[in-house]
A = this chain, B = another copy of it.
Amino acid sequence: MIAVDWGTSSLRAYRLAANGKVAEQRRADLGILACGGNFAAALAAQIEGWNDSDIVLSGMIGSRNGWVEMPYLDCPAGIPELAAGMKRIDTPEFAGRALWFVPGLANGSDTETPDVMRGEETQLCGLLDTMSQGTHMICLPGTHSKWVTVRDGRVASFTTAMTGEVYAVLRQHSILGKLMNGDASRFDAYAFDAGLRRSAQSGGLLHHLFGVRTAGLFQRFTESALPSYLSGLLIGHEVHASELLTRAPRPAQVHLIGSDRLLSAYAHALLALGIGVQRHSEQLAALGMYRVARARGLTG
């Protein structure tokens, strides 16, 4: 089968062997808004030469701005619910083959401000059935970070923090960015830790953000270290607000799923706060789609 993780900024396609292992993979900077609505042609180009008959798709491709708008399933939900919620689409461009869209997940959909995810649920499915019974914490850092509580093999609840996007817009469009230099990839542990410590103090995030400006203005940090101070401050606020540190019993570890660079920053923050971490790659999405497909009876 073919598994496609298709989000706002990229498309990742995996060709899976019968045992679920990734045999081949391709990646393109081809977010759902970059195809001009011609999703079938874009997908056909990306998986050219792969002739498997089942194609499973997850991520923002199943959103209102995507190919097919899929519903959000309410938590608690796990592999069986996602498998049952998949929708088969037949389209002339893929004659004789089936496209399977995975639904998203929602938390608190009856509240004023529900939480939602699309794409992360298949990454989670790559982990769910390897976890023991009981409660586990998973964090998927990113533009919109997810903090997920897994209980007995299902996603029990989750919350989203806009950390990555707030970092990006402040860096690119606010007065804070003017005091920083261009190299976004450099990690300065001293400045990051200072931001992290600041996040534990009173005054609130909106006040602490102004402190990023004065820390630059008064040359407490260099132009190249200041981005790490801002990052530590925001990630610190995110971790403190997640209530991870005040939960009883306090979790011994958090599973982190994501790209290497982001995971390093979050692992650094969590370890500094006395929480262990276990890292997993984003490629878990392929395994997760395989497991959902198998639960639906598509493979193996």
**Which residues of chain B are near A234, meaning CB under 8 Å?**
206
Q: Of B114, B175, B241, which contacts A206 at CB under 8 A?
A: B241
Tell whether A159 pairs with B203 under 8 Å between CB atoms, given A172-B173, A174-B165.
yes
A160 interfacial contact with B, CB 8 Å: yes
Tell whether A241 pairs with B209 under 8 Å between CB atoms, given A214-B115, A215-B113.
no
Please report whether the interface of chain A is mostly helix, strand, loop or mixed according to DSSP: helix
A109 interfacial contact with B, CB 8 Å: yes
Tell whether A238 pairs with B113 under 8 Å between CB atoms, given A160-B210, A170-B169, A210-B162.
no
The residue in A109, A160, A194, A238 that gathers the most chain B C-beta atoms within 10 A of its C-beta is A160
0 or 1 for each of A37-81: is its CB under 8 Å from B? (1 = yes): 000000000000000000000000000000000000000000000
Tell whether A194 pairs with B116 under 8 Å between CB atoms, given A207-B161, A238-B206.
no
A34 interfacial contact with B, CB 8 Å: no
**Which residues of chain B are near A175, meaning CB under 8 Å?**
165
Number of copies: 2
Please determine whether B206 and A162 come into contact, CB atoms closer than 8 angstroms.
yes
0 or 1 for each of A173-210: is its CB under 8 Å from B? (1 = yes): 11100000000000000000010001000111111111
A166–chain B nearest beta-carbon distance, Å: 6
A279–chain B nearest beta-carbon distance, Å: 22
**Which residues of chain B are near A242, meaning CB under 8 Å?**
204
Query: Which positions 258-279 of chain A face chain B at CB distance < 8 Å?
Result: none
The chain B residue sitting closest to A64, CB to CB, is B217
A231–chain B nearest beta-carbon distance, Å: 13
The residue in A115, A210, A217 that gathers the most chain B C-beta atoms within 10 A of its C-beta is A210
A97 interfacial contact with B, CB 8 Å: no
**Which residues of chain B are near A210, meaning CB under 8 Å?**
113, 115, 144, 160-162
**Which residues of chain B are near A172, meaning CB under 8 Å?**
173
Please determine whether A162 and B209 come into contact, CB atoms closer than 8 angstroms.
yes
Between-chain CB contacts (< 8 Å), 10 pairs: A112-B211, A113-B198, A113-B212, A114-B214, A144-B210, A159-B207, A169-B174, A204-B238, A205-B205, A206-B234
